[in-house]
Amino acid sequence: MARINQRLNGLNPLAYVGVDAPQPTDFITLARDPTVNDSLNFYLGTWWLNISTNDLFYLASLAGGVATWILVGSGASLLSLTGNTGGPVFADGARNINVIGDAVTINIAGNPGTNTLTVSASGTGVVSSLTGNSGGAVFPTAGNINVIGDGITVDIVGNPGTSTLTVSTVGTGVVNSLTGNSGGAVFPTAGNINVLGTGVITVVGNPGTSTLTITPSGSIASSFPTDAGTAIPAVGVLNVFGGTGISTTGAGNTITITNTAPNNAFQTIAIQVFTVSGTYTPTAGMKYCIIEVIGGGGGAGGAKPTAAGEVSASGAGAGGGYSRGVYSAATIGASKAVVIGAGGVGGTGIVDGTNGGASSVGALLSATGGNAGFHCNNLSTTVVAIGGNNPGIGSGGSVNCTGSVGTNGFAVVIGTSFVCNPGKGGSSVYGGAGGAASAGGPFAGLADFEEDGINAKAYGGGGGGAWSADGGVGATGGDGSPGVVIVTEFI
């Protein structure tokens, strides 16, 4: 138990001789506050004055060697008050500072008897509760009401520095506008957008659940017949898929069906005809073409001049060959050289005709020309002149044909009469061979003593033979026709 300083009460029996005689209590003055460690050589009842702050302490206990000092007086006094702004406010001459509310939102009432200032909200300027769309009023807890957005559609950010709450929409959860198939975006008026059905569509609103129900009020197709079978929507969805060579894409309320197969359909047919040599250049967009080639026809032989009682008839030229093929644009490439065979020339007198020339398109296909007919010497009896017996031949195509042979010329003397049958020209696949001008009768009745052969008419035809009789001056065989190249293009 702590020792009580007997000097404070004079109860020591030896006080009269000066032991623990009654004296004033100890009084310590230092420029700091006492601590629990200030116990050694200190007695209960000692006073301690902090000369820096004028705070006065009393030593009330030394239990366990730990000093317990009690603050019994403070030298500090209220000198000023500082608000949120404006700096410190100092006491007036009466040592008073007025604390006054604005009487609109804040009211301050003073009670001198209890030395109390009561601060309270007044009027409607201060929010005492918040009420949402539902749930009733929310009152502050510890002077605060939490205003929290759902974080999905609404976000609320507080700024303590400005005592501000900022409410904003988040993401796409809040509708700012509605856009239909046409007409642009529609924005709210007074916070509302009317959604009205028309025709077979009815729109019903339920304010209690914030729901719009859109339903068909008329006839809307529930099944979709196709070329093979009927499609029925499942859970309101109808799948539209493309088959081979067809693709479908969806965007918004539109389905686009596209043909993805190569476009091999022909839109146009064009024909190029070559009667002279040159170059075949495909028309733009050509996919396939059919090429036909015909060689030149052979010329007929000539008929020799005749004396009285003599006859002469020449052989005809043969027809040119033919070839036909189908080719793709890739096979043709940029171009192909075209060669046109010339028609053979008919001979005059004792001269044979000439052969027809070969026609070709690059190295793809070709057709040779027909051989010439031979001339005829005049005799007084029977005459035979050989015709072009080697017609032209086609090669390289998917269809290859030979031309027709030119026939032999024939003439005969029968007493005082005669018969002349010159050869007939060989035809190509297009026909048109040169004909034969036949003659016959008594020599004495001749009006004309010779006649030239007839020229071929169609591409690749052979020329017709000529004749002379009973003093004729001779005749010229018919010319063969030149060849041709015909290209039929599919575009």
Residue 195's pLDDT is what?
82
Out of 53, 73, 93, pick the residue that ends a domain.
Answer: 73
Residue 46's pLDDT is what?
92
Residue 385's pLDDT is what?
86
* 172 in any annotated domain: no
Pull the structure tokens for residue 1: 């138990």
* 353 in any annotated domain: yes
Helix (H) or strand (E) holding 420: strand 417-421
* 60 in any annotated domain: yes
Helix (H) or strand (E) holding 331: helix 329-332
* 43 in any annotated domain: yes
* 470 in any annotated domain: yes
Distance, in Å, from the CA atom of 434 to the CA atom of 356, rounded to the nearest integer, reads 14
List per-residue pLDDT tens for the chain, 491 residues long. Answer: 344 555 555 566 676 666 665 666 788 999 999 999 999 988 888 999 999 989 899 999 999 999 999 998 777 655 567 777 777 876 665 557 788 877 776 788 888 888 787 877 765 555 667 777 777 787 888 778 888 877 666 778 888 877 777 777 765 555 667 777 777 787 888 768 888 877 667 888 888 777 777 777 666 667 778 778 888 888 778 788 888 878 888 887 788 888 776 666 788 999 999 999 999 999 999 999 999 999 999 999 999 998 888 899 999 999 999 999 999 999 999 999 999 999 999 999 999 999 999 999 999 999 999 999 999 876 767 888 898 899 999 999 999 999 999 999 999 988 888 899 999 999 999 988 877 767 777 776 565 688 999 999 999 999 999 999 888 888 999 999 999 999 999 99
Residues 6+ apart with CB under 8 A from 339: 277, 358, 359, 360, 361
User: Among 457, 308, 316, 318, which Cα is nearest to 380's?
Assistant: 308
User: Among 453, 477, 473, 475, which Cα is nearest to 307's?
Assistant: 473
Out of 31, 46, 73, pick the residue that ends a domain.
Answer: 73
Provide the β-strand partners of residue 421: 410
- pTM score, whole prediction: 0.50
Question: In sequence order, what E strands does 62-189 have?
Answer: 68-73, 80-82, 88-90, 106-111, 116-121, 130-131, 137-138, 154-159, 164-169, 178-179, 185-186
Q: How many CA atoms lie within 13 A of 293 on its CB side?
A: 34
Coil, strand or helix at 65 = helix
What is the widest separation between alpha-carbon atoms in the chain? 214
Domain count, the chain: 2
The residue assigned the tokens 């046409």 is 182
* 438 in any annotated domain: yes
* 347 in any annotated domain: yes
> Domain span at residue 60?
6-73
Out of 43, 73, 103, pick the residue that ends a domain.
Answer: 73
Distance, in Å, from the CA atom of 76 to the CA atom of 96, rounded to the nearest integer, reads 15
* 433 in any annotated domain: yes
Query: How long, in residues, is the chain?
Result: 491
